[in-house]
Structure 1
């Protein structure tokens, strides 16, 4: 395999030249070579080579020559399978025969006369097969990070580095002029087919945050064209003579009624106009399934990608809003450019292959603006405050969303905040490293984080029914909730970070925390006298491949976290949490504890540990001063979370241990109160006498083969997992005191993501098996708990 020309041996393993990927070892190499991607590229390369052998290069014909004419001429040498012409210049073509011998016959003829012209026929150029990059490349504007770092190190201060970053990436005047010319060209072309239409640029090209080779986003406004078409129809029905303009447009507007046509039908027409009538445009594609249907295209000479939509007025308004924010405070643009570069280097944003679980530039920009709204004093005002500064003529309502704000920055009083960029960036990282993304919704309209319970008051089915019954968006429509929730400033039902997953959110917070630590150092604040990297340079370093550093001599904490996920909770539980308000964490903690208890007791068949002679107990005070105790391993179903103050029998506190060291059935804890925002931790002690984690997947597969149930991921079905455990218990001999362990559950949130932390500690592990059991629980317990929380009937049981 190493002798394969596609595989190259390197110091760190292997490199596949055709796939352009590094492979660490031989087993991985064997899997890669057998993989679909590698096999597909090998077949594609063979196909391309065959096409090269079967084809000839032809030039010298008239530009108006058709493919059919060339095909008829070259058929005399053998069957022709395809003729590919340069549609832009019309000066050459590739003629592909079905056999290599036919191509050689055509090449053997010394002269080719066609339509009175002498054709030049040559062998087709042989090119090396390369995997095309999905990313957008523009060699003229590619920024070398090494070159940028060199320039940054020469700066006199961190604030100068901010300016250097912005100047390196921002669109230059000549690039803006080129884009303006393309917009003018498209305006002229489309006006011929859609009278009185407008081509309106929006997005990064004009919102002051554009970078080299960013997309050219365009909005095709057809409102005036619809009026034109309606007036023309009225004239025809009244028997009046149509105007000259009306007659010239009859060929296209007579084929489609703009007032009743679907967006996809209109965009298909837009795509046809782009292909046939706009010079330099190619790779035209209609994306009808996108959230907002769009036509994507590329311009060959300008090496520029573009999008055209017909129903995106809110995006145009968002562009005006970002322009206003840039004009209000000059610190916004360099801060945004720096944060974007940092996020891209840390692999948090900038997905070159398209949509995915990474932050997009718009969401990042809104996060920066929201942070500046929350500085003390604020750098930028909230959208609601901007609305109050607008005059009556500036009122704007789009699709029932209030999009009102001043049209000019001069209408907004300057900020009293005088912090420099160096300080603001440090504050950005500190702000989001402690931000509770799981239980908060970022609202630029209010300028503050809204509790997620404000968006849980409506049942999901009710929301779906309301949206399905009305073609227009409603202000009460709930946004799609996820690990990160950032509301659009105007379309309040749109979460612009709704594509992110749990891992991306955790990575973002971790990188913010690391950046915050670095920004506290002198390496960030002061220029190095020894010529070392300093300031923003070290901040842009890619994440370490070695992963987090290990701390020698530190005992590993065995902890499993169950994050708060509003999007997977059933409607009844969402309603309960919404009713709890700011104390929702206490109620949610009760539900999670109930689910965790069910996993251990009912699904994994663990049993409470037997009490020992030196039982440790704990006391706790309730509001009335009475002491209470609750069985530590009591199911949460047996604890009414709505009741408090019921005292149990008092027991003395042991003198040799504190309250947090209870280990057995008789150990006590504070009664769980769902109305408390941060309730006391819960403690359990369990005994496991079976290897319920060993061979579990095989037993599960065997059960599914003999049942009619559909396969679900591990931890996705309560009944299946219970049966798997039962099968293992039946087939395995019981071992006395196999494993005893303690579990401490605690809910956190507010200054960090809301979650329940479960800390494990073995109290008896004679066979040294707890590490394997814990490794199984790390994956199984969160999934199983989430499944139980998602079952409406399970939620109602513990209410």
Structure 2
């Protein structure tokens, strides 16, 4: 892949290639055209992207409208006062329509607010400025609007989740597993409007909190910004008010009288209590506020109905921001890292290895580290230790509790021999991922992306994955022994299934579909299909173990094996089938006891279609 990228770099085709690999960021100006001879601009840093997104949010408004047909009237109304870069349409979970309007400058946005905005007159409403508004119907005569013919919505219904049936049909039509993996990533990764909305929610909180804190910043982190997020993912936010050199200039003699806070967690728990009250009373669109203040990192959870997002807000957790920056940097180095990670996480969700709720099972973050660690073993990505050793003074970052988050930020300074030394396609990497971990010694070894190699476990926890920024912490310490064993079993099954199905003809569940589809009647049909060579679980596991069922299952198993034989055993098949029918008649009054009625109905239907 690195060789291909170098060729594209010299031929001047890198921008079209980047749009193909990263369609969700095609509208981001930070990825605009560059001089191909300038190798220092090959990679875009996390800080550049974050700065670009924050600037977009400062120049944008989110306006609730009647429908997407309100575009012409809204554009005509706002464009009289300011220049508009683009309008993005989306719907929230309640089906309400919104338009995110990006203006050319922040001053243009302020001009629109000054000339076009107003507050409600209801007595129970506390007036508050916010980047979230709604478009009131015109009370007078509608003016004739002259909209340029080349102006239209940038995107319509931009945050709609891809329909599963449509997605499966598209995956079915792909020519190979690599194409399936890339398509899955393109269809499900967090897109441009999704990122914009998350920064708008952060901007809304900044506007509300600016009167309480100096130099306030609300920064998204986690899946929303690290490049590994999917459509509909939760939004993690951190509230910070770090003092810059200008604010704490020792040369200035007049110093503000301020309220001091004692060290420790408790003062910031009280600050978050205040923040939670403000969210409930003052922030438009916020509902279902929940305080979790006694955790290791106190947070406030809430739902943002206008943006259709579930949010977690904490204070001062900059290590989370730096972790997002590290994952962004590693994901940027090779275009295969993010699609591979997306597929593995989708596979884990389909097999109920992960859950939307916290518990004793593995989460998406450890799975992401497992993928990155595997890619380090294949020479695709460098170790974090390599990035730390190459860091300069400008890369020094110290988070809360003196956590050292220093590593190389500018990936353009990383020598090309440190990464991209493997040109295997996505299909090969996916199979090798499952094969690698099916042979990994989880009982004795720990996964460390810092070292880029397995290390000895410091304790007896079932699954040990070293935190990339705090090497004394295990990010998978919550995983129980049973869940770890189930993870290993599913990894072995996936490796066996991919390898066994590589030469098969395309069926309705070929390739990636067989891994990411959730268990259903279709999966049961695949399990019981006559001549199925992919069966990983014995059919008898579906039945209660009794003599009658075991005996009939013995005949059935023999019949299934014989149907795959050559014509020489055709008579034996016929005789065995007759024996089975005779045996069934003798036991017509006896019924097989299934574990549940759904399994029973599906088995009898399939047996009628396939066996009789």
**TM-score between both structures, scaled by the size of structure 2:** 0.56
Contact 1:422 1:525 in 2 (8 A): no
Partner of residue 9, structure 2: none
The match for 1:492 among 471, 479, 485 is 471
Partner of residue 375, structure 2: 372
Partner Cα separation in structure 1 for residue 452 and residue 497 of structure 2: 28
Partner of residue 63, structure 1: 122
Partner Cα separation in structure 2 for residue 299 and residue 551 of structure 1: 47
Contact 2:493 2:536 in 1 (8 A): no
Pairwise CA distance, 1:364:
0.7
Distance verdict in 2 for CA 1:408–1:139, change over 3 Å: closer
Partner Cα separation in structure 1 for residue 248 and residue 279 of structure 2: 21
Partner of residue 541, structure 1: 517
The match for 2:358 among 336, 341, 355 is 355
Partner Cα separation in structure 1 for residue 474 and residue 246 of structure 2: 34
Contact 1:195 1:228 in 2 (8 A): no
Partner Cα separation in structure 1 for residue 384 and residue 446 of structure 2: 15
Contact 1:153 1:537 in 2 (8 A): yes
Partner of residue 91, structure 2: none
Partner of residue 411, structure 2: 409
Partner Cα separation in structure 2 for residue 274 and residue 64 of structure 1: 20
Quick check: which one's strand share is greater? 1
The match for 1:336 among 323, 341, 361 is 341
Contact 1:525 1:535 in 2 (8 A): no
The match for 1:198 among 213, 217, 229 is 217
Partner of residue 19, structure 2: none
Partner Cα separation in structure 1 for residue 170 and residue 274 of structure 2: 48
Pairwise CA distance, 1:527:
6.4
Contact 1:328 1:380 in 2 (8 A): yes
Partner of residue 300, structure 2: 295
Partner Cα separation in structure 2 for residue 274 and residue 226 of structure 1: 30
Q: CA RMSD in A?
A: 3.2
Name stretches of at least 5 consecutive residues in structure 1 with no aligned partner. 1-60, 67-87, 90-137, 237-241, 247-252, 457-480, 553-799
The match for 2:279 among 269, 274, 278 is 274
Partner Cα separation in structure 1 for residue 495 and residue 244 of structure 2: 53
Partner Cα separation in structure 2 for residue 525 and residue 408 of structure 1: 43
Instruction: State the Cα deviation string for residues 547-588 of structure 1 (Å, max 9, x = none).
Output: 963499xxxxxxxxxxxxxxxxxxxxxxxxxxxxxxxxxxxx
Contact 2:206 2:218 in 1 (8 A): yes
Contact 1:158 1:525 in 2 (8 A): no
Does 2:426 match 1:421?
Answer: yes
Pairwise CA distance, 1:145:
3.0
Contact 1:524 1:534 in 2 (8 A): no
Does 2:206 match 1:187?
Answer: yes
Partner Cα separation in structure 2 for residue 157 and residue 548 of structure 1: 23
**TM-score between both structures, scaled by the size of structure 1:** 0.44
Distance verdict in 2 for CA 1:272–1:228, change over 3 Å: farther
Pairwise CA distance, 1:167:
1.3
Distance verdict in 2 for CA 1:228–1:262, change over 3 Å: farther
Identify the structure with bigger relative contact order (alpha carbons < 8 Å, sequence gap 6+).
2
Instruction: State the Cα deviation string for residues 243-269 of structure 1 (Å, max 9, x = none).
Output: xxx8xxxxxx65x74767622111111
Quick check: which one's helix share is greater? 2
Instruction: State the Cα deviation string for residues 358-410 of structure 1 (Å, max 9, x = none).
Output: 221111100100111112xx111111111122233223343444322221222
Partner Cα separation in structure 2 for residue 203 and residue 289 of structure 1: 21
Partner Cα separation in structure 1 for residue 448 and residue 245 of structure 2: 36
Partner Cα separation in structure 2 for residue 330 and residue 235 of structure 1: 52
Distance verdict in 2 for CA 1:285–1:489, change over 3 Å: same
Contact 2:226 2:328 in 1 (8 A): yes
What is the number of equivalent residue pairs in this alignment? 375
1:767-786 equivalence runs, <5 A: none
Does 2:329 match 1:324?
Answer: yes
SS in 1 for 2:447: strand
Does 2:438 match 1:433?
Answer: yes
Pairwise CA distance, 1:441:
1.3
Distance verdict in 2 for CA 1:179–1:345, change over 3 Å: same
Pairwise CA distance, 1:505:
0.9
Partner Cα separation in structure 2 for residue 537 and residue 181 of structure 1: 36
Partner of residue 393, structure 2: 392
Pairwise CA distance, 1:189:
1.6
Pairwise CA distance, 1:513:
0.7
Partner of residue 513, structure 1: 492
Partner Cα separation in structure 1 for residue 159 and residue 381 of structure 2: 35
The match for 1:213 among 215, 232, 247 is 232
Distance verdict in 2 for CA 1:171–1:139, change over 3 Å: closer
SS in 2 for 1:220: strand
Distance verdict in 2 for CA 1:388–1:516, change over 3 Å: same
Contact 1:281 1:298 in 2 (8 A): yes
Partner Cα separation in structure 2 for residue 229 and residue 373 of structure 1: 43
1:520-669 equivalence runs, <5 A: 520-521=499-500, 523-524=501-502, 528=506, 532-543=508-519, 549-550=537-538
Instruction: State the Cα deviation string for residues 716-767 of structure 1 (Å, max 9, x = none).
Output: xxxxxxxxxxxxxxxxxxxxxxxxxxxxxxxxxxxxxxxxxxxxxxxxxxxx
160-169 or 221-230: which moved more?
A: 221-230
SS in 2 for 1:262: helix
